[in-house]
A and B are shown apart, each in its own frame.
Chain A
Protein backbone atom coordinates (compact mmCIF):
# COMPACT_ATOMS: atom_id res chain seq x y z
CA UNK A 1 0.00 0.00 0.00
CA UNK A 2 1.47 3.39 -0.90
CA UNK A 3 2.12 5.78 1.96
CA UNK A 4 0.37 9.04 2.44
CA UNK A 5 2.68 11.92 1.54
CA UNK A 6 4.40 13.70 4.39
CA UNK A 7 2.44 16.83 3.45
CA UNK A 8 -0.79 14.90 3.83
CA UNK A 9 0.27 13.57 7.25
CA UNK A 10 1.18 17.09 8.32
CA UNK A 11 -2.29 18.22 7.22
CA UNK A 12 -3.90 15.50 9.36
CA UNK A 13 -1.80 16.59 12.33
CA UNK A 14 -3.30 20.07 12.07
CA UNK A 15 -6.37 18.49 13.68
CA UNK A 16 -4.41 17.47 16.80
CA UNK A 17 -5.00 20.16 19.42
CA UNK A 18 -2.69 21.22 22.22
CA UNK A 19 -4.36 19.64 25.28
CA UNK A 20 -4.10 22.80 27.37
CA UNK A 21 -4.84 25.40 24.68
CA UNK A 22 -7.19 23.51 22.34
CA UNK A 23 -7.51 26.35 19.80
CA UNK A 24 -3.89 25.72 18.87
CA UNK A 25 -2.90 22.65 16.87
CA UNK A 26 0.41 20.98 17.58
CA UNK A 27 1.48 22.05 14.10
CA UNK A 28 0.60 25.71 14.67
CA UNK A 29 2.39 25.56 18.01
CA UNK A 30 5.57 24.43 16.24
CA UNK A 31 5.84 21.21 18.22
CA UNK A 32 5.83 18.92 15.15
CA UNK A 33 9.29 19.22 13.62
CA UNK A 34 9.32 16.51 11.02
CA UNK A 35 7.28 13.74 9.43
CA UNK A 36 8.82 10.80 7.61
CA UNK A 37 8.48 7.13 6.86
CA UNK A 38 10.56 4.23 8.15
CA UNK A 39 9.21 1.33 6.10
CA UNK A 40 5.53 1.10 7.01
CA UNK A 41 5.99 3.14 10.17
CA UNK A 42 5.16 6.81 10.11
CA UNK A 43 7.76 8.66 12.20
CA UNK A 44 6.63 11.95 13.71
CA UNK A 45 9.34 14.01 15.41
CA UNK A 46 8.16 16.41 18.06
CA UNK A 47 9.99 18.81 20.35
CA UNK A 48 8.88 19.66 23.89
CA UNK A 49 7.73 23.19 24.62
CA UNK A 50 8.74 23.45 28.28
CA UNK A 51 10.83 20.75 29.98
CA UNK A 52 8.14 20.03 32.53
CA UNK A 53 5.13 20.42 30.26
CA UNK A 54 2.77 17.59 31.22
CA UNK A 55 1.01 17.81 27.85
CA UNK A 56 3.79 16.13 25.88
CA UNK A 57 2.74 12.57 26.66
CA UNK A 58 -0.84 13.31 25.75
CA UNK A 59 0.27 14.94 22.52
CA UNK A 60 2.19 11.79 21.54
CA UNK A 61 -0.86 9.64 22.20
CA UNK A 62 -3.17 12.03 20.31
CA UNK A 63 -0.84 12.01 17.30
CA UNK A 64 -0.82 8.20 17.17
CA UNK A 65 -4.60 8.03 17.58
CA UNK A 66 -5.28 10.64 14.89
CA UNK A 67 -3.01 8.98 12.35
CA UNK A 68 -4.53 5.58 13.13
CA UNK A 69 -7.88 7.13 12.29
CA UNK A 70 -6.52 7.96 8.84
CA UNK A 71 -5.44 4.37 8.31
CA UNK A 72 -1.75 4.75 9.17
CA UNK A 73 -0.93 1.28 10.53
CA UNK A 74 2.13 2.10 12.65
CA UNK A 75 3.24 5.35 14.20
CA UNK A 76 6.39 6.15 16.12
CA UNK A 77 6.65 9.49 17.89
CA UNK A 78 10.22 10.60 18.54
CA UNK A 79 11.36 13.49 20.71
CA UNK A 80 14.07 15.88 19.64
CA UNK A 81 15.56 18.45 22.02
CA UNK A 82 17.80 20.51 19.76
CA UNK A 83 17.27 23.08 18.49
CA UNK A 84 15.14 24.04 21.49
CA UNK A 85 11.53 24.97 20.85
CA UNK A 86 10.83 28.66 20.46
CA UNK A 87 7.65 30.69 20.13
CA UNK A 88 9.14 31.93 16.82
CA UNK A 89 7.88 28.64 15.38
CA UNK A 90 4.27 29.48 16.11
CA UNK A 91 2.33 29.98 12.87
CA UNK A 92 0.47 33.19 11.99
CA UNK A 93 -2.76 31.19 12.06
CA UNK A 94 -1.86 30.01 15.56
CA UNK A 95 -1.17 33.55 16.74
CA UNK A 96 -4.54 34.75 15.48
CA UNK A 97 -6.36 31.81 17.05
CA UNK A 98 -4.72 32.56 20.40
CA UNK A 99 -5.79 36.19 20.39
CA UNK A 100 -9.37 35.29 19.45
CA UNK A 101 -9.33 32.84 22.35
CA UNK A 102 -8.37 35.63 24.77
CA UNK A 103 -4.64 34.91 25.12
CA UNK A 104 -2.24 37.57 23.90
CA UNK A 105 0.25 36.13 21.38
CA UNK A 106 4.04 36.43 21.85
CA UNK A 107 4.90 40.10 21.31
CA UNK A 108 8.53 39.75 20.31
CA UNK A 109 11.09 37.32 18.95
CA UNK A 110 12.48 34.41 20.98
CA UNK A 111 13.63 35.13 24.52
CA UNK A 112 17.12 36.57 24.71
CA UNK A 113 19.13 34.39 27.09
CA UNK A 114 22.38 36.29 26.69
CA UNK A 115 21.88 38.32 29.86
CA UNK A 116 19.85 38.54 33.07
CA UNK A 117 19.89 42.25 33.83
CA UNK A 118 16.76 43.46 35.60
CA UNK A 119 16.72 46.51 33.37
CA UNK A 120 15.54 44.72 30.23
CA UNK A 121 12.59 46.54 28.65
CA UNK A 122 9.37 44.57 28.82
CA UNK A 123 7.52 43.92 25.57
CA UNK A 124 4.43 45.95 24.75
CA UNK A 125 1.59 43.45 25.07
CA UNK A 126 -1.82 44.45 23.68
CA UNK A 127 -4.95 43.41 25.58
CA UNK A 128 -6.69 40.58 23.67
CA UNK A 129 -10.09 41.85 24.87
CA UNK A 130 -10.07 45.58 24.08
CA UNK A 131 -6.84 46.00 22.11
CA UNK A 132 -5.36 48.62 24.45
CA UNK A 133 -1.57 48.72 24.81
CA UNK A 134 -1.96 50.08 28.34
CA UNK A 135 -1.32 46.77 30.09
CA UNK A 136 0.67 45.70 33.12
CA UNK A 137 2.61 42.52 33.92
CA UNK A 138 1.26 40.89 37.08
CA UNK A 139 3.49 37.80 37.05
CA UNK A 140 5.70 36.05 34.54
CA UNK A 141 4.13 32.77 35.65
CA UNK A 142 0.51 31.85 35.18
CA UNK A 143 -1.89 28.92 34.79
CA UNK A 144 0.49 26.97 32.54
CA UNK A 145 4.26 27.08 31.99
CA UNK A 146 3.95 28.94 28.70
CA UNK A 147 1.91 31.88 29.94
CA UNK A 148 2.37 35.09 31.93
CA UNK A 149 -0.35 36.97 33.78
CA UNK A 150 -1.25 40.52 32.71
CA UNK A 151 -3.89 43.05 33.56
CA UNK A 152 -5.33 45.62 31.18
CA UNK A 153 -5.39 49.12 32.65
CA UNK A 154 -8.01 50.25 30.11
CA UNK A 155 -10.74 47.60 30.39
CA UNK A 156 -9.50 46.32 33.79
CA UNK A 157 -9.64 42.70 32.66
CA UNK A 158 -6.88 40.25 33.61
CA UNK A 159 -5.58 38.14 30.74
CA UNK A 160 -2.98 35.51 29.88
CA UNK A 161 -0.01 36.29 27.67
CA UNK A 162 1.79 33.54 25.76
CA UNK A 163 5.30 34.57 26.71
CA UNK A 164 8.20 34.55 24.29
CA UNK A 165 10.42 31.54 24.59
Chain B
Protein backbone atom coordinates (compact mmCIF):
# COMPACT_ATOMS: atom_id res chain seq x y z
CA UNK B 1 0.00 0.00 0.00
CA UNK B 2 1.07 3.54 -0.75
CA UNK B 3 0.95 4.67 2.89
CA UNK B 4 1.96 8.28 2.27
CA UNK B 5 -0.74 8.78 -0.36
CA UNK B 6 -3.31 7.04 1.84
CA UNK B 7 -2.52 9.37 4.76
CA UNK B 8 -2.53 12.39 2.48
CA UNK B 9 -5.99 11.51 1.15
CA UNK B 10 -7.29 10.93 4.68
CA UNK B 11 -6.05 14.37 5.68
CA UNK B 12 -7.91 15.94 2.79
CA UNK B 13 -11.08 13.94 3.41
CA UNK B 14 -11.07 14.26 7.20
CA UNK B 15 -10.60 18.04 7.16
CA UNK B 16 -13.72 18.40 5.05
CA UNK B 17 -15.71 15.73 6.88
CA UNK B 18 -15.11 17.14 10.35
CA UNK B 19 -15.83 20.70 9.27
CA UNK B 20 -19.04 19.56 7.53
CA UNK B 21 -20.11 17.80 10.73
CA UNK B 22 -19.46 20.98 12.71
CA UNK B 23 -21.46 23.10 10.25
CA UNK B 24 -24.54 20.91 10.16
CA UNK B 25 -25.01 21.57 13.88
CA UNK B 26 -26.15 25.04 12.77
CA UNK B 27 -29.04 23.58 10.77
CA UNK B 28 -32.16 25.33 11.97
CA UNK B 29 -30.10 27.57 14.27
CA UNK B 30 -28.60 30.07 11.81
CA UNK B 31 -29.02 33.72 12.80
CA UNK B 32 -31.15 34.36 9.71
CA UNK B 33 -32.68 32.03 7.12
CA UNK B 34 -30.17 32.94 4.41
CA UNK B 35 -27.28 32.08 6.71
CA UNK B 36 -28.88 28.81 7.67
CA UNK B 37 -29.14 27.89 3.99
CA UNK B 38 -25.62 29.05 3.20
CA UNK B 39 -23.94 27.13 6.00
CA UNK B 40 -25.80 23.92 5.31
CA UNK B 41 -25.08 24.18 1.58
CA UNK B 42 -21.42 24.70 2.37
CA UNK B 43 -21.52 21.66 4.64
CA UNK B 44 -23.10 19.62 1.84
CA UNK B 45 -20.35 20.60 -0.61
CA UNK B 46 -17.65 19.73 1.92
CA UNK B 47 -19.29 16.41 2.71
CA UNK B 48 -19.54 15.53 -0.98
CA UNK B 49 -15.87 16.33 -1.44
CA UNK B 50 -14.97 14.32 1.66
CA UNK B 51 -16.77 11.31 0.19
CA UNK B 52 -14.67 11.51 -2.97
CA UNK B 53 -11.39 11.79 -1.02
CA UNK B 54 -12.28 8.97 1.37
CA UNK B 55 -13.48 6.70 -1.43
CA UNK B 56 -10.18 7.23 -3.20
CA UNK B 57 -8.29 6.66 0.07
CA UNK B 58 -10.10 3.33 0.46
CA UNK B 59 -9.12 2.32 -3.08
CA UNK B 60 -5.49 3.26 -2.46
CA UNK B 61 -5.45 1.30 0.78
CA UNK B 62 -6.87 -1.75 -0.99
CA UNK B 63 -8.16 -3.36 2.22
CA UNK B 64 -11.84 -3.22 1.30
CA UNK B 65 -12.71 -0.14 3.34
CA UNK B 66 -15.15 2.20 1.66
CA UNK B 67 -16.04 5.81 2.50
CA UNK B 68 -18.46 4.71 5.23
CA UNK B 69 -15.97 2.41 6.93
CA UNK B 70 -13.41 5.20 6.96
CA UNK B 71 -15.84 7.86 8.19
CA UNK B 72 -17.67 5.83 10.82
CA UNK B 73 -15.36 3.09 12.01
CA UNK B 74 -12.15 4.93 12.83
CA UNK B 75 -11.37 6.42 16.24
CA UNK B 76 -10.00 9.88 16.94
CA UNK B 77 -6.27 9.00 16.70
CA UNK B 78 -6.86 7.71 13.17
CA UNK B 79 -8.45 10.97 12.04
CA UNK B 80 -5.98 13.25 10.28
CA UNK B 81 -7.81 16.57 10.05
CA UNK B 82 -6.09 19.80 11.12
CA UNK B 83 -7.14 20.94 14.61
CA UNK B 84 -8.76 24.10 13.29
CA UNK B 85 -11.82 22.29 11.92
CA UNK B 86 -12.61 20.45 15.15
CA UNK B 87 -12.78 23.71 17.12
CA UNK B 88 -16.29 24.10 18.59
CA UNK B 89 -18.79 26.29 16.75
CA UNK B 90 -18.80 28.94 19.48
CA UNK B 91 -20.78 32.01 18.47
CA UNK B 92 -21.40 32.94 14.84
CA UNK B 93 -18.20 34.99 14.65
CA UNK B 94 -16.21 31.94 15.84
CA UNK B 95 -17.83 29.79 13.17
CA UNK B 96 -17.08 32.39 10.49
CA UNK B 97 -13.45 32.95 11.56
CA UNK B 98 -12.80 29.20 11.43
CA UNK B 99 -14.56 28.98 8.06
CA UNK B 100 -12.77 31.97 6.58
CA UNK B 101 -9.27 30.75 7.50
CA UNK B 102 -10.07 27.24 6.26
CA UNK B 103 -11.77 28.35 3.02
CA UNK B 104 -8.87 30.56 1.94
CA UNK B 105 -6.36 27.78 2.68
CA UNK B 106 -8.59 25.18 1.02
CA UNK B 107 -8.86 27.30 -2.11
CA UNK B 108 -5.09 27.75 -2.57
CA UNK B 109 -4.45 24.08 -1.76
CA UNK B 110 -6.99 22.90 -4.35
CA UNK B 111 -5.53 25.26 -6.92
CA UNK B 112 -2.25 23.36 -6.57
CA UNK B 113 -3.83 19.90 -6.32
CA UNK B 114 -5.72 20.52 -9.56
CA UNK B 115 -2.25 20.30 -11.18
CA UNK B 116 -1.44 17.02 -9.42
CA UNK B 117 0.49 14.33 -11.29
CA UNK B 118 -2.13 11.86 -9.99
CA UNK B 119 -5.10 12.39 -12.28
CA UNK B 120 -7.58 11.12 -9.67
CA UNK B 121 -6.40 13.77 -7.22
CA UNK B 122 -6.43 16.42 -9.94
CA UNK B 123 -10.02 15.53 -10.93
CA UNK B 124 -11.38 15.80 -7.38
CA UNK B 125 -9.51 19.06 -6.81
CA UNK B 126 -10.69 20.62 -10.08
CA UNK B 127 -14.26 19.70 -9.21
CA UNK B 128 -14.01 20.94 -5.61
CA UNK B 129 -12.40 24.29 -6.29
CA UNK B 130 -15.46 25.57 -8.14
CA UNK B 131 -17.50 25.04 -5.00
CA UNK B 132 -14.81 26.39 -2.70
CA UNK B 133 -14.54 29.60 -4.74
CA UNK B 134 -18.12 30.33 -3.63
CA UNK B 135 -17.31 29.36 -0.02
CA UNK B 136 -14.36 31.70 0.25
CA UNK B 137 -16.21 34.65 -1.27
CA UNK B 138 -19.03 34.19 1.17
CA UNK B 139 -16.92 33.78 4.31
CA UNK B 140 -14.81 36.77 3.27
CA UNK B 141 -17.98 38.85 2.88
CA UNK B 142 -19.26 37.76 6.27
CA UNK B 143 -16.01 38.60 8.05
CA UNK B 144 -16.22 42.10 6.57
CA UNK B 145 -19.88 42.52 7.50
CA UNK B 146 -19.33 41.44 11.08
CA UNK B 147 -15.94 43.14 11.52
CA UNK B 148 -17.08 46.43 10.01
CA UNK B 149 -20.51 46.24 11.65
CA UNK B 150 -21.53 47.35 15.12
CA UNK B 151 -19.15 47.75 18.06
CA UNK B 152 -20.47 44.48 19.42
CA UNK B 153 -20.05 42.50 16.20
CA UNK B 154 -16.60 44.04 15.66
CA UNK B 155 -15.43 43.03 19.14
CA UNK B 156 -16.76 39.50 18.75
CA UNK B 157 -15.27 39.07 15.27
CA UNK B 158 -11.86 40.27 16.48
CA UNK B 159 -11.96 37.88 19.44
CA UNK B 160 -12.96 35.04 17.10
CA UNK B 161 -10.14 35.85 14.64
CA UNK B 162 -7.61 35.96 17.49
CA UNK B 163 -8.82 32.61 18.80
CA UNK B 164 -9.00 30.70 15.50
CA UNK B 165 -5.72 32.24 14.38
CA UNK B 166 -3.79 30.09 16.88
CA UNK B 167 -4.74 27.01 14.89
CA UNK B 168 -3.76 28.30 11.44
CA UNK B 169 -0.04 27.54 11.71
CA UNK B 170 -0.73 23.83 11.37
CA UNK B 171 -2.19 24.44 7.92
CA UNK B 172 1.27 25.46 6.72
CA UNK B 173 3.46 23.03 8.64
CA UNK B 174 4.85 20.26 6.43
CA UNK B 175 5.87 16.84 7.65
CA UNK B 176 7.39 13.84 5.88
CA UNK B 177 4.10 12.89 4.22
CA UNK B 178 3.63 16.39 2.79
CA UNK B 179 7.22 16.52 1.59
CA UNK B 180 6.97 13.11 -0.07
CA UNK B 181 3.70 14.05 -1.80
CA UNK B 182 5.21 17.32 -3.00
CA UNK B 183 8.33 15.53 -4.19
CA UNK B 184 6.28 13.07 -6.24
CA UNK B 185 4.24 15.88 -7.78
CA UNK B 186 1.03 14.59 -6.20
CA UNK B 187 0.66 17.28 -3.54
CA UNK B 188 2.40 20.52 -2.66
CA UNK B 189 4.44 21.91 0.21
CA UNK B 190 1.98 23.55 2.56
CA UNK B 191 4.53 26.19 3.52
CA UNK B 192 4.27 27.60 0.00
CA UNK B 193 0.58 28.35 0.51
CA UNK B 194 1.16 30.72 3.40
CA UNK B 195 2.12 33.77 1.36
CA UNK B 196 -0.94 33.82 -0.95
CA UNK B 197 -3.13 32.93 2.05
CA UNK B 198 -1.77 35.86 4.05
CA UNK B 199 -2.27 38.28 1.19
CA UNK B 200 -5.98 37.49 0.96
CA UNK B 201 -6.50 37.25 4.72
CA UNK B 202 -4.79 40.60 5.27
CA UNK B 203 -6.87 42.26 2.54
CA UNK B 204 -10.13 41.01 4.04
CA UNK B 205 -9.21 41.80 7.64
CA UNK B 206 -8.14 45.32 6.60
CA UNK B 207 -11.47 45.89 4.94
CA UNK B 208 -13.21 44.47 7.99
CA UNK B 209 -11.30 46.97 10.21
CA UNK B 210 -9.88 43.97 12.07
CA UNK B 211 -6.33 43.50 13.32
CA UNK B 212 -4.15 40.74 11.91
CA UNK B 213 -2.98 38.75 14.94
CA UNK B 214 0.68 38.32 15.79
CA UNK B 215 2.35 35.84 13.44
CA UNK B 216 4.09 33.91 16.22
CA UNK B 217 0.77 33.13 17.92
CA UNK B 218 -0.07 30.78 15.05
CA UNK B 219 2.82 28.38 15.49
CA UNK B 220 2.73 27.07 19.03
CA UNK B 221 3.43 23.32 19.13
CA UNK B 222 0.40 22.68 21.33
CA UNK B 223 -1.88 23.91 18.57
CA UNK B 224 -0.96 21.38 15.93
CA UNK B 225 -0.80 17.62 15.56
CA UNK B 226 -4.24 16.83 14.17
CA UNK B 227 -2.79 15.88 10.79
CA UNK B 228 -0.68 13.28 12.62
CA UNK B 229 -3.63 12.00 14.68
CA UNK B 230 -3.05 14.01 17.89
CA UNK B 231 -6.31 15.77 18.61
CA UNK B 232 -8.04 18.03 21.09
CA UNK B 233 -10.72 16.61 23.34
CA UNK B 234 -13.40 18.19 21.12
CA UNK B 235 -12.96 15.66 18.32
CA UNK B 236 -14.01 12.74 20.50
CA UNK B 237 -17.38 14.27 21.24
CA UNK B 238 -17.90 15.15 17.60
CA UNK B 239 -17.14 11.59 16.49
CA UNK B 240 -19.34 10.09 19.19
CA UNK B 241 -22.30 11.93 17.74
CA UNK B 242 -21.39 11.42 14.08
CA UNK B 243 -20.61 7.72 14.43
CA UNK B 244 -23.30 6.73 16.90
CA UNK B 245 -25.82 5.25 14.47
CA UNK B 246 -23.58 3.00 12.34
CA UNK B 247 -21.81 1.79 15.49
CA UNK B 248 -24.97 1.10 17.47
CA UNK B 249 -26.65 -0.55 14.47
CA UNK B 250 -23.90 -2.11 12.34
CA UNK B 251 -24.88 -2.51 8.70
CA UNK B 252 -27.92 -0.26 8.99
CA UNK B 253 -29.10 1.05 5.63
CA UNK B 254 -31.13 4.12 4.74
**Interfacial residues, chain A to chain B (CB-CB below 8 A):** 48, 50-54, 81-86, 111, 113, 116, 118, 120, 138-143, 145, 149, 163, 165
User: B138–A141 contact, CB under 8 A?
Assistant: yes
**Least CB separation from B37: chain A residue:** A141
User: A116–B41 contact, CB under 8 A?
Assistant: no
Q: Which of A52, A118, A142 has the most CB of B within 10 A?
A: A52
User: B137–A81 contact, CB under 8 A?
Assistant: no
Residues of A within 8 A of B42 (CB): 141
B119 within 8 Å of A by Cβ?
A: yes
Partner of B204, one of A53, A113, A118, A165: A118
Residues of A within 8 A of B111 (CB): 113
Q: Is chain B's binding surface mostly helix, strand, loop or mixed?
A: helix
User: B46–A84 contact, CB under 8 A?
Assistant: no
User: B45–A140 contact, CB under 8 A?
Assistant: no
Can you list 5 A-B pairs, Cβ within 8 angstroms, ordered by A? A51-B52, A51-B131, A84-B123, A116-B140, A149-B34
B207 within 8 Å of A by Cβ?
A: yes
**Least CB separation from A51: chain B residue:** B48
* Number of residue pairs spanning A and B whose beta carbons lie under 8 angstroms apart: 90
User: A116–B136 contact, CB under 8 A?
Assistant: yes
Indicate whether A142 sits within 8 Å of B126 (C-beta atoms), given known contacts A50-B45, A113-B133, A116-B136. Answer: no
Residues of A within 8 A of B48 (CB): 48, 50-53
Q: Which B residues, 18 to 66, have Cβ-Cβ distances below 8 Å to chain A?
A: 34-35, 37-38, 41-42, 44-49, 51-52
Residues of B within 8 A of A83 (CB): 126
User: B119–A116 contact, CB under 8 A?
Assistant: no
Indicate whether A118 sits within 8 Å of B34 (C-beta atoms), given known contacts A50-B48, A51-B127, A81-B123. Answer: no
Q: How far is the CB of B18 from chain A (nearest CB, A)?
A: 15
Q: Which of B104, B127, B207 has the most CB of A within 10 A?
A: B127
Residues of A within 8 A of B203 (CB): 118
User: B37–A82 contact, CB under 8 A?
Assistant: no
**Least CB separation from B20: chain A residue:** A52
User: A143–B37 contact, CB under 8 A?
Assistant: yes
Extra inter-chain contacts (18) besides given A48-B127, A140-B137, CB under 8 Å: A50-B44, A50-B48, A51-B48, A51-B128, A52-B46, A52-B49, A81-B124, A81-B126, A82-B122, A113-B133, A116-B107, A118-B204, A139-B38, A140-B38, A140-B134, A142-B37, A142-B41, A163-B134
Tell me the complex Cα distance, A32–B107, Å.
Answer: 28
Q: How far is the CB of A139 from chain B (nearest CB, A)?
A: 4
